[in-house]
């Protein structure tokens, strides 16, 4: 028996030492299954362990998987990922191998052909002759069960013939090997060709580069990266397209089928076990040439990656908030540099991080300034709500109503946007002033009418609608305050009774595909929705977009509030006028002079970027400075406050790092846990991770307290 060390794919430290038999030639990176406490866990062979245990006390591995290993590149990426995101190596490894069945051999239906040259070497029995008769036509292929049935022989006959190499198994190649590239493509315009050439010329071993395809919606960005993917396919390399949300994959999937003539592999959490394993192994063997998916597709075992595309790179959904906290766009860029392949970011409203990287020459900008064909840019206007007459329980201005009416008259479509689910965000008691709150969170219960409930949007807690106030017991004293999209839908129904209306939010997400299809086919006149309808969709007849509360996201107070609002409103406005008919967008606002509204209305993206970058620079905020949060939570607030004081007293001295806090999080209580946070600020060059590690290691944390480190935080509530 010899000693090997194994990194377990689990949230436990390690690596640990195990034993294998001496004759097993076991190598770094290969998968093994081992006993751990009273469980069995999966892991990979690691280079060293810190353990120093006598051989006699070590356990033996259970299984060695000689077919599957992680490449050294991927292992380097795992080490980096774990260090950067402040998460253990084992937890990071688990991202790559979330289930053991992924590395179980697929029982494929093997087929056999015959090797005529070998027949002379063997004894021909009667049984063997009947097998050979089957293969008279040399191109015939049979599975072993077919041979058994037709030639009426026993399995051992077949086994022997395989051993004698008379029967040879044939690889049934996966679908993507039959690729016909250039299935159907457009002639790229000049800007598109230049952009594509830039990316293609950077492909190759030592030449990787980062790009941004920056162009308004409908400027042909997707076709540009398709061109680069085509080149990767020709070189027999794999491509990965990351999308912020899985709901966006469907239309891309269809476009890829038309463009390339094959179906890409779609990676998401809802796949069946068999499908998941098939895709994982296709990626492993380089049978899957093109993968599309959300964040988790970064952790597939690519055999020969050639290109990474991050579509809608600015989208905040790339920031994973639950469990292991990481920014998938940033991790895609790192993966690209480990793999030495180009990374192509795509956006109409690039993140300020990316804009600064372009200014500093780290990324190359490929700009597509014009929309394809006759489509012109939408005409964006504001509606100054201070000039509108205030009418109780009415949120759609007269101006916007007139525009919707005109659009109906032209038999075109309108889209009304409000980023708030449900009927009303707050329910107030007229008698005592109490607002209905979630018992577990510092958050109001939101009234929903389609599925009658009062729901907490923080934790999902819900109760049936109530008739009397839970504080003072007054009857019929509860009033709904403010609008959600269900209430806006009521207002639309009242004003446009003849129109065909649909509403979409994550509450009826299961209807998304049907509603979007109806919208595309002109079966809906007015679509009302939350941000679920803001992205990616292409509705030929849509010419009027109305935003009910353009100021909504701005009050959020976090550092990216303005940036996010700009991106969202730009995206929503960009849904209109995507074909020959000119489109208009109307933003209802109380602050028409706000830089976000001003640059949207004047279509001057650069003005906004410049102004916002300047503010960030003055305050040394990202993308100039660097931030990290430490979030502490406990069910007992006194115990938590006491621990926060201990942490504060232990803050290590540093000239370069400022530690702010602890302060209660703005939504202090969530799911019954009270949350406090520290914010760390520094210049880009300083290693915050090391500092935090040092700090945390000098204090002893009670087990009731949860401590989370969020590097480059996006969420501050």
Identify any residues that bridge with 345 across adjacent strands, giving them in sequence order. Answer: 212, 310
C-alpha–C-alpha distance, residues 287 and 265, integer Å = 10
- Provide the 10 A C-beta neighbour count for residue 273: 11
C-alpha–C-alpha distance, residues 350 and 617, integer Å = 18
Residues from 505 through 534 that contact ligand ADP (CB under 6 A): none
User: Which among Zn ion, ligand ADP, none contacts residue 697 (Cβ within 5 to 8 A by kind)?
Assistant: none
Could you tell me the smallest distance in angstroms from the CB atom of residue 424 to Zn ion?
Answer: 16
Give the range of 232-240, 425-433, 611-619, 705-713 binding Zn ion by CB under 5 A. Answer: 425-433
User: Which among Zn ion, ligand ADP, none contacts residue 177 (Cβ within 5 to 8 A by kind)?
Assistant: none
- Give buried/exposed letters for 580-613 (b at 16+ CB in 10 A, else e): ebebbbbbbbebbebbbbbbbbeeebeebbeebb
C-alpha–C-alpha distance, residues 714 and 623, integer Å = 12
User: Which among ligand ADP, Zn ion, none contacts residue 432 (Cβ within 5 to 8 A by kind)?
Assistant: Zn ion
Which of 7, 248, 335, 438 contacts Zn ion by CB under 5 A? 438
Using DSSP's 3-state secondary structure scheme, residue 623 falls into coil
User: Which among ligand ADP, Zn ion, none contacts residue 483 (Cβ within 5 to 8 A by kind)?
Assistant: none
Which of 395, 461, 624, 715 contacts Zn ion by CB under 5 A? 461
Could you tell me the smallest distance in angstroms from the CB atom of residue 471 to Zn ion?
Answer: 5
Within 8 A by CB and 6+ apart from 37, the residues are none
User: Is-cis flag, bond preceding 15, omega within 30?
Assistant: yes
Residues from 364 through 403 that contact ligand ADP (CB under 6 A): 372
* CA distance to 250, 259, 525, 546, 599, per residue, from 516 (Å): 11, 22, 12, 18, 29
User: Which among Zn ion, ligand ADP, none contacts residue 215 (Cβ within 5 to 8 A by kind)?
Assistant: ligand ADP
Sequential DSSP letters for 78-131: HHHHHHHTT--HHHHHHHH-S-GGGGSPP----EEEE-GGGGGGS---HHHHHH
Residues from 185 through 244 that contact ligand ADP (CB under 6 A): 186-189, 192, 215, 217-223
User: Which among ligand ADP, Zn ion, none contacts residue 434 (Cβ within 5 to 8 A by kind)?
Assistant: Zn ion
Element (H, E) at 307: strand 305-311
Could you tell me the smallest distance in angstroms from the CB atom of residue 691 to ligand ADP?
Answer: 41
Nearer to ligand ADP, 187 or 697 (CB): 187
C-alpha–C-alpha distance, residues 383 and 588, integer Å = 5
Query: What ranges make up the beta strands (E) of 342-420?
Result: 343-347, 364-368, 379-384, 413-417
Cβ atoms of 197 and 231 closer than 8 Å = no
User: Which among Zn ion, ligand ADP, none contacts residue 431 (Cβ within 5 to 8 A by kind)?
Assistant: Zn ion
- Give buried/exposed letters for 5-15 (b at 16+ CB in 10 A, else e): bbbbbbeeebb
Q: Are strands 265-267 and 290-293 parallel, antiparallel or unpaired?
A: parallel
Q: Which strands make up the sheet holding 501-504, listed edge to edge?
A: 379-384, 584-589, 542-547, 413-417, 526-529, 501-504
User: Which among ligand ADP, Zn ion, none contacts residue 189 (Cβ within 5 to 8 A by kind)?
Assistant: ligand ADP
Nearer to ligand ADP, 75 or 569 (CB): 569
C-alpha–C-alpha distance, residues 417 and 404, integer Å = 13
Could you tell me the smallest distance in angstroms from the CB atom of residue 193 to ligand ADP?
Answer: 9
Contact flags string 464-483 toward Zn ion, x per CB under 5 A = -----x-xx-----------
Could you tell me the smallest distance in angstroms from the CB atom of residue 667 to Zn ion?
Answer: 9
Cβ atoms of 636 and 704 closer than 8 Å = yes
Could you tell me the smallest distance in angstroms from the CB atom of residue 367 to ligand ADP?
Answer: 11
User: Which among ligand ADP, Zn ion, none contacts residue 223 (Cβ within 5 to 8 A by kind)?
Assistant: ligand ADP
Residues from 166 through 195 that contact ligand ADP (CB under 6 A): 186-189, 192
Nearer to ligand ADP, 186 or 590 (CB): 186
Nearer to Zn ion, 155 or 433 (CB): 433
User: Which among Zn ion, ligand ADP, none contacts residue 354 (Cβ within 5 to 8 A by kind)?
Assistant: none
Within 8 A by CB and 6+ apart from 224, the residues are 188, 192, 195, 196, 199, 213, 366, 368
Nearer to ligand ADP, 223 or 634 (CB): 223
The reply to whether 441 sits near Zn ion by the rule CB under 5 A is yes
Which of 459, 621, 641, 696 contacts Zn ion by CB under 5 A? 459
Q: Binding-site residue total for ligand ADP (CB under 6 A)?
A: 14
Binding site for Zn ion (CB under 5 A): 429, 431-432, 434, 438, 440-441, 456, 458-459, 461, 469, 471-472
Binding site for ligand ADP (CB under 6 A): 186-189, 192, 215, 217-223, 372
């Amino acid at each position: 028996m010899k000693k090997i060390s194994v990194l377990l794919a689990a949230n436990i430290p390690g690596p640990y030492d195990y034993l294998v038999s001496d004759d097993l030639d076991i190598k770094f990176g290969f998968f093994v299954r081992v006993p751990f406490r009273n469980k069995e866990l999966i892991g990979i062979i690691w280079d060293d362990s810190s353990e120093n245990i006598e051989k006699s006390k070590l356990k033996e591995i259970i299984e060695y998987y000689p077919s599957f290993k992680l490449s050294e590149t991927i292992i380097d990426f795992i080490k980096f990922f774990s260090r950067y995101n402040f998460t253990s190596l084992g937890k990071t490894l688990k991202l790559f191998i979330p289930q053991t069945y992924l590395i179980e051999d697929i029982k494929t239906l093997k087929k056999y052909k015959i090797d005529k040259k070998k027949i002379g070497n063997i004894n021909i029995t009667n049984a063997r002759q009947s097998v050979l008769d089957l293969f008279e036509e040399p191109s015939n292929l049979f599975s072993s069960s077919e041979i058994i049935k037709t030639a009426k022989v026993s399995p051992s006959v077949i086994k022997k013939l395989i051993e004698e190499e008379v029967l040879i198994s044939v690889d049934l190649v996966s679908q993507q090997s039959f690729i016909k590239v250039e299935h159907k493509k457009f002639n790229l315009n000049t800007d598109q060709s230049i952009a594509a050439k830039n990316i293609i010329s950077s492909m190759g071993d030592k030449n990787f580069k980062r790009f941004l395809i920056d162009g308004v919606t409908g400027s042909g960005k997707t076709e540009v990266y398709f061109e680069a993917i085509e080149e990767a396919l020709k070189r027999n390399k794999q491509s990965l397209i990351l999308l912020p949300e899985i709901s966006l994959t469907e239309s891309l999937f269809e476009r890829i089928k038309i463009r390339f003539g094959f179906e890409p592999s779609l990676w998401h959490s809802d796949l069946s076990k068999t499908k998941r394993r098939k895709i994982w192994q296709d990626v492993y063997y380089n049978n899957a040439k093109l993968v599309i998916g959300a964040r988790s597709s970064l952790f597939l075992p690519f055999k020969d990656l050639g290109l990474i595309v991050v579509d809608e790179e600015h989208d905040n959904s790339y920031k994973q908030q639950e469990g292991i906290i990481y920014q998938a766009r940033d991790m895609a860029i790192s993966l690209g540099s480990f793999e030495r392949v180009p990374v192509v970011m795509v956006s109409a409203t690039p993140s300020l991080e990316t804009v600064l990287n372009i200014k500093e020459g780290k990324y190359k900008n490929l700009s597509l300034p014009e929309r394809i064909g006759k489509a012109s840019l939408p005409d964006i206007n504001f509606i100054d709500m201070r000039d509108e007459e205030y009418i109780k329980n009415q949120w759609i201005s007269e101006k916007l109503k007139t525009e919707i009416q005109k659009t109906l008259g032209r038999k075109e479509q309108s889209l009304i946007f409000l980023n708030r689910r449900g009927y009303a965000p707050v329910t107030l008691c007229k008698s005592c002033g109490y607002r209905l709150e979630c018992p577990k969170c510092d958050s109001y219960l939101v009234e929903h009418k389609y599925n009658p409930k009062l729901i907490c949007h923080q934790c999902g807690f819900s109760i049936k609608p109530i008739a009397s106030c839970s504080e003072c017991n007054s009857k019929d004293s509860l009033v709904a305050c403010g609008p959600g999209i269900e209430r806006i839908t009521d207002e639309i129904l009242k004003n446009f009774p003849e129109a065909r209306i649909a509403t979409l939010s994550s509450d009826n997400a299961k209807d998304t595909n049907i509603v979007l299809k109806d919208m595309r086919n002109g079966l809906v006149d007015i679509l009302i929705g939350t941000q679920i309808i803001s992205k990616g969709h292409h509705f030929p007849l849509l010419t009027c977009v109305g935003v009910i509360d353009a100021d909504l996201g701005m009050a959020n107070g976090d550092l990216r509030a303005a940036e996010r609002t700009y991106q969202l409103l730009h995206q929503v406005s960009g849904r209109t006028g995507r074909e020959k008919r000119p489109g208009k967008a109307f933003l209802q606002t109380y602050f028409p002079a706000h830089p976000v509204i001003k640059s949207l209305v004047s279509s001057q993206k650069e003005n906004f970027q410049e102004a916002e970058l300047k503010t960030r620079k003055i305050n040394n905020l990202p993308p100039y400075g660097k931030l990290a949060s430490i979030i502490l939570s406990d069910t007992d607030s006194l115990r938590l406050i006491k621990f926060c004081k201990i942490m504060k007293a232990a803050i290590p001295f540093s000239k370069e790092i400022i530690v702010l806090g602890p302060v209660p999080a703005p939504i202090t209580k969530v799911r019954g846990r009270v949350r406090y946070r520290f914010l760390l600020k520094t210049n880009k060059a300083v290693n915050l991770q090391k500092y935090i590690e040092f700090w945390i290691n000098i204090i002893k944390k009670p087990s009731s307290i949860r401590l989370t480190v969020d590097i480059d935080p996006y969420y501050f509530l």
